[in-house]
Amino acid sequence: MTQTLYRKYRPQAFGEVVGQDHIKVTLENEIKLGRLTHAYLFCGMRGVGKTTMARLLAKAVNCESRKPGEAEPCNKCVTCQAINEGRSFDLIEIDAASNRRIDDIRELRDNIPHGPARSHYKVVIIDEVHMLTAEAFNALLKTLEEPPAHVIFVLATTEVHKLPETIVSRCQRFDFRRLTPADLVRRLITLSQAEGVKVEQSVLEEIARLAGGSSRDAESYLGKLLSLGEKKITTAQAHLVLPHSDVKVALSFVRHLILRQAGEAVALLNNFLDEGGELGYFYKQVLELMRQLLLIKLGGQLGSQDKAKEGDEVFASLTELSGELTQGRLQSMLETWLALEKTWQQSEVYQLPLELGAVAICQEGFAVVPGSTGSNNDQAVGRTSQAKESHSRLSVAASRASPTPLVNLASSQVSLEEIAKRWPEVVAKLRDFNHSLSFILSIAKPTKLEGNTLTIGFQYKLHQERVQDPKVRQVVEQALAQILSVEMSIHGVLEEGSDHNRGDFLSSVLSTFSGRLLE
């Protein structure tokens, strides 16, 4: 069986690790000086070297031939070879995603008091540690508080926010960064040369963009190219294997959305798919461009990695387009596009949700101008202030009394099934007052009816918080009352498996400006 590149060429020394210099230098100094910590916490996105660095640490502290004042493992002694070949009794690796129960941690806790088989230290690596149950964390905490002198823990996670503070505070934390496109290209050149294959520079740069900062993803893409069996990989050959992507196409799509050209946006999307484009990557590109627009709108510039990734031409276009947007409308665009992530993957006509999302974005914030003529959007509708219009409509809706006599929910025959059946009517009712709100509720669903309270499940925390706003909640409750002729209150919850903290920075920024449409 052929090994994948990221396993075949996994770095065997600190000097071979690309990027993460801020972590390498610290660990090397600790090893040289013998000032090791009993527990390390490695945080960062997938494929940036957390497990690799953990194994290097295990080799370095146990290397039989390492000289004083040095940090690199020799990779020749019995201990180093055993770790390289995955047969060391003194290196314990646990995948917390599949060994997350308290019994698994208890078994580990019972075994680690025994000394290492032949090394100086017994090193325990727990990958995806955030997957442990609360009981398992409690069992692990006791061991971290009073660890045996011969044990070193390395906890690795992609979601550090899910770890209890009691665990984090007992570890020396290292945050792994996304690799820059330049770092990834250098790594890809090294691997392609080792495989005896010449890959065009433009192809390597394309892979670096696709990888999004992950070395493992970049090496996986390169492996697909090498499977072609060619000694020279050209751009034309690469397009046979790599996801078809073009940031300029995504930029044109975003421009159509901003200029409210729904027809052009939908046509561009379908042309892209007809030419073999990958919908998933296109979605991510559009989302990333919107994120960059937000950064420009907030601070006037992008980070160095964002600029390097997209190039000066794209950056200049984004800067120009940011002038066409208000902060409130940009938030609305992001909310709508974020909400599409799961829906398009479940649709039989898989581009349809993105088409509907494009139309929704283009229609947001328009008011019909009486007496206007012409087919063009700008002739048929007039621009209004999004914040003022939404606030006005919601205020009117909140203060408007329902003309239908209402009965108490407890004494009515309305069931959860009836509410779910008529939910589209509620969504349509709300569209008269606020298109963005109706879109949010169109992808939410009633999940429980208890007493006088209807529970609504949301996929995104941002949407849950939006509807929990007292003014918005009152509008939704009145829409329900008008459709069902019953009094009820609503309560929003996040569905199981939903994105509780979608996009760390992005969510925090959007939360800061949530409700802007109501101001």
What DSSP letter does each residue of 283-301 carry, written as one string?
HHHHHHHHHHHHHHHHHSS
Amino acid at 24: K
For residue 119, what are the CA distances in angstroms to 62, 124, 178, 399? 6, 13, 33, 74
Q: Please classify residue 114 by burial: count the beta carbons closer than 10 Å to its beta carbon, then call 0-12 exposed, 13-18 middle and 19+ buried.
A: exposed
230/286 same-domain check: no
Pairing assessment for the beta strands 91-95 and 122-127 based on DSSP bridges: parallel
190-223: buried (b, 16+ CB within 10 Å) or exposed (e) per residue?
A: ebbeebebebeeebbbbbbbbbbbbbbbbbbbbb
DSSP bridge pairs for 449: 454
Q: Which of 149, 175, 201 is the last residue in one of the domains?
A: 175
Tokens of 288: 């990333």
62/81 same-domain check: yes
DSSP-assigned letter for residue 408: E
What sign results for the dihedral spanned by CA atoms 164, 165, 170, 175? positive
For residue 136, what are the CA distances in angstroms to 94, 124, 129, 458? 13, 15, 10, 29
User: Residue 77: which domain range?
Assistant: 5-175
Stated as kind and residue range, the H or E segment containing 383 is strand 381-383
Q: Does a structural domain hold residue 104?
A: yes
Tokens of 372: 């206007």
Q: Given this model, what pLDDT does residue 406 score?
A: 53
DSSP bridge pairs for 172: 40
Tally of domains within the chain: 4
DSSP bridge pairs for 517: none
CB 247 within 8 A of CB 281: no
CATH number of the domain encompassing residue 209: 1.10.8
154/30 same-domain check: yes
Q: Does a structural domain hold residue 106?
A: yes
Q: Does a structural domain hold residue 301?
A: yes
Amino acid at 516: R
Q: Does a structural domain hold residue 29?
A: yes
Q: Does a structural domain hold residue 368?
A: no
Measure the CA–CA gap between 18 and 24, rounded to whole angstroms.
Answer: 10
Cβ count within 10 A of residue 325? 19
Residue 40 sits at φ, ψ, to 5 deg, of -120, 145
491/409 same-domain check: yes
Written as one string, the DSSP assignment of 244-289 is P--HHHHHHHHHHHHTT-HHHHHHHHHHHHHTT--HHHHHHHHHHH
276/234 same-domain check: no
Pairing assessment for the beta strands 366-368 and 381-383 based on DSSP bridges: antiparallel
Q: Given this model, what pLDDT does residue 381 score?
A: 38
- Cα 413 off chain centre by: 43
Amino acid at 149: A
Q: Is 514 helix (H, G, I), strand (E, B) or coil?
A: coil
Q: What is the dihedral of CA 96, 98, 99, 103, to 10 degrees?
A: 140
201/251 same-domain check: no
DSSP bridge pairs for 455: 448, 491
Written as one string, the DSSP assignment of 122-157 is EEEEEETGGGS-HHHHHHHHHHHHS--TTEEEEEEE
Q: Does a structural domain hold residue 481?
A: yes
Looking up tokens 């950064």 gives 295
CATH number of the domain encompassing residue 90: 3.40.50.300
319/421 same-domain check: no
19/154 same-domain check: yes
Measure the CA–CA gap between 269 and 70, rounded to whole angstroms.
Answer: 56
Q: Is 390 helix (H, G, I), strand (E, B) or coil?
A: helix
416/278 same-domain check: no
Q: Does a structural domain hold residue 310?
A: yes
26/42 same-domain check: yes
Q: Does a structural domain hold residue 374?
A: no
Q: Which of 135, 150, 175 is the last residue in one of the domains?
A: 175
Single out the residue of 59, 94, 93 nearest to residue 77, CA to CA: 59
Q: What is the pLDDT along the chain (519 residues), one digit of tens a residue?
A: 567 888 899 999 999 998 899 999 999 999 999 999 999 999 999 999 999 999 999 999 999 999 888 999 999 999 999 999 989 999 999 988 887 778 888 888 888 888 888 889 999 999 999 998 888 888 888 888 888 889 999 999 999 999 999 999 999 999 999 999 999 999 999 999 999 999 999 899 989 988 888 999 999 999 999 988 889 999 888 888 887 667 888 999 999 999 999 999 999 999 888 877 778 888 888 999 999 999 888 875 555 445 545 567 788 888 888 888 888 888 888 888 888 876 766 666 778 888 888 988 888 754 333 333 333 444 333 444 444 444 444 444 444 444 444 555 554 568 888 898 889 888 888 876 666 778 788 888 899 988 888 999 988 777 888 888 888 888 888 888 888 888 889 999 988 655 444 443 344 333 333 333 333
Measure the CA–CA gap between 198 and 187, rounded to whole angstroms.
Answer: 14
Single out the residue of 267, 224, 265, 270 nearest to residue 243, CA to CA: 224
199/72 same-domain check: no
CATH number of the domain encompassing residue 324: 1.20.272.10
DSSP-assigned letter for residue 87: -
What sign results for the dihedral spanned by CA atoms 47, 50, 51, 53? positive
Tokens of 36: 């090791």
Measure the CA–CA gap between 85 and 8, rounded to whole angstroms.
Answer: 12
Backbone conformation region of residue 374, classed left if phi is above 0, alpha if psi is from -120 to 50, else beta: left
Q: Is 39 helix (H, G, I), strand (E, B) or coil?
A: strand
CATH number of the domain encompassing residue 449: 3.30.300.180
28/161 same-domain check: yes
Stated as kind and residue range, the H or E segment containing 318 is helix 312-322
For residue 284, what are the CA distances in angstroms to 216, 331, 338, 357, 470? 19, 17, 10, 14, 33
Single out the residue of 140, 122, 123 nearest to residue 131, CA to CA: 140
Measure the CA–CA gap between 5 and 201, rounded to whole angstroms.
Answer: 19
